DNA sequence: CCATCAACTGAGCATATGTTCATGTATACT
DNA sequence: AGTATACATGAACATATGCTCAGTTGATGG
């Protein structure tokens, strides 16, 4: 038989903690946006793009060469990164040159890499 | 007609940059793991779990109450977070109590939140 | 003006992901 | 032992995601 509620029966297990934590939590909107931000970092192609931009500004074409992928695929991913304000771009003739938005992004990448290499 | 190669025709657009960056890039393995790490942060439910654990250790039951979700759903997500060594746990009777692994995780969450609130 | 190239975009498709449901496991209590 | 509770897990299903393909836009140069 299935449970009516798949949560704890005995009121709260640690109700004091739960209530206190609940009062300190960020808004759901902020946390949703935070998840969207990390989601943008959470793809092989996109981290490789971002990691490359750590060293130098690059155009779509450069990135396609560097990652050995179609420029269409790169462009699609850059769109995601632009959407989350992780990269910015400037036009240079036919080329569009991308850079990381700010130091936050760099810090996130570095902290993440440090964690991976522990 | 479709292009034979959907990359730039004129050798490299900025071949010096591309070559130099290529030599500085982390291994694909590391970057793949980095993407997996961020992917684990990249879900509403999981960031809410992590954000909650920022304030206090909590058992599965607490988290289910706090996020108003089934303990099964929480458990599945905690599995992902354990897999990436983002949370650790200890048993306390029938309960399993979760905490963030280390300060790296906290830093990542804080940097991310700061970016979201710019 | 026309051709070429870098970049962007929408549709389509195969794969990945998150939740529910049902069941399994471990611990505590009588 | 038997029951109840907390947690974990596998299957199934609906949705999300990343790439390719085809076509479009905008800039450059003959």
The answer to whether the CB of B8 falls within 8 A of the CB of A71 is yes
pLDDT digits (tens, 9 = 90+) for B55-91: 999 999 999 999 999 999 999 999 999 999 999 999 9
The three state secondary structure string of chain A is CCCCCCCCCCCCCCHHHHHHHHHHCCCHHHHHHHHHHHHHHCCHHHHHHHHHHCCCCEEHHHHHHHHCCCHHHHHHHHHHHHHCCCEEEEEECCEEEEEECCHHHHHHHHHHHHHHCC
Whether residue B47 lies inside any domain: the answer is yes
Residue B69: how many CB atoms within 10 A of its CB?
A: 17
Considering the domain boundaries, does residue B112 fall inside one? yes
B71: in domain = yes
Domain for residue B97, yes or no? Answer: yes
pLDDT reported for residue A6: 64
Chain centre distance of CA A108: 9
Per the CB < 8 A criterion, the answer to whether B94 and B42 are in contact is no
For residues A52 and A64, the answer to whether their CB atoms sit within 8 Å is no
Asked, for residue B83, whether it belongs to a domain, the answer is yes
Range(s) of the domain holding residue A108: 15-116
CB contact under 8 A, B62 and A13: yes
Across residues A30-50, what is the average pLDDT? 98
- Checking if the pLDDT of B1 tops 50, the result is no
The DSSP letter of residue B47 is: H
Chain D, protein-covered positions (CB within 7 A): 4-11, 17-23, 26-28
Q: Which residues of A touch B117 (CB under 8 A)?
A: 30
Whether B42 is in a domain gets the answer yes
Instruction: Evaluate if residue B45 carries a pLDDT over 80.
Output: yes
- Total structural domains within chain B: 1
CA→C1' distance for A43 and D5 (Å): 39
- Both tokens of A7, joined, read 């949560």
CB A75 within 7 Å, strand C: yes
Is pLDDT at B116 greater than 60 in this prediction? yes
**Dihedral sign (CA B38, B44, B49, B51):** positive
ipTM above 0.95, yes or no: no
* Domain-located, residue A7: no
Q: pLDDT band at residue A3, thresholds of 50, 70 and 90? A: very low
The answer to whether position A9 is within a domain reads no
Using a CB-CB cut-off of 8 Å, the residues of chain B touching A12 are 61-62, 65
- Output the domain CATH number for residue B34: 1.10.10.10
């Amino acid at each position: 038989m299935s449970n009516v509620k798949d949560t704890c029966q005995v009121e709260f297990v640690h109700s004091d903690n739960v209530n206190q934590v609940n009062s300190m939590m960020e808004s759901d909107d902020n946390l949703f946006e935070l998840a969207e931000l990390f989601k943008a970092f959470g793809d092989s192609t996109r981290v490789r793009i971002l990691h490359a931009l750590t060293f130098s500004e690059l155009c779509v074409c450069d990135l396609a060469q560097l990652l050995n992928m179609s420029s269409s695929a790169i462009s699609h991913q850059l769109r995601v990164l632009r959407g989350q304000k992780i990269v910015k771009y400037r036009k240079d003739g036919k080329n569009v040159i991308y850079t990381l938005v700010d130091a936050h992004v760099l810090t996130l990448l570095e902290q993440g890499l440090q964690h991976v290499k522990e």
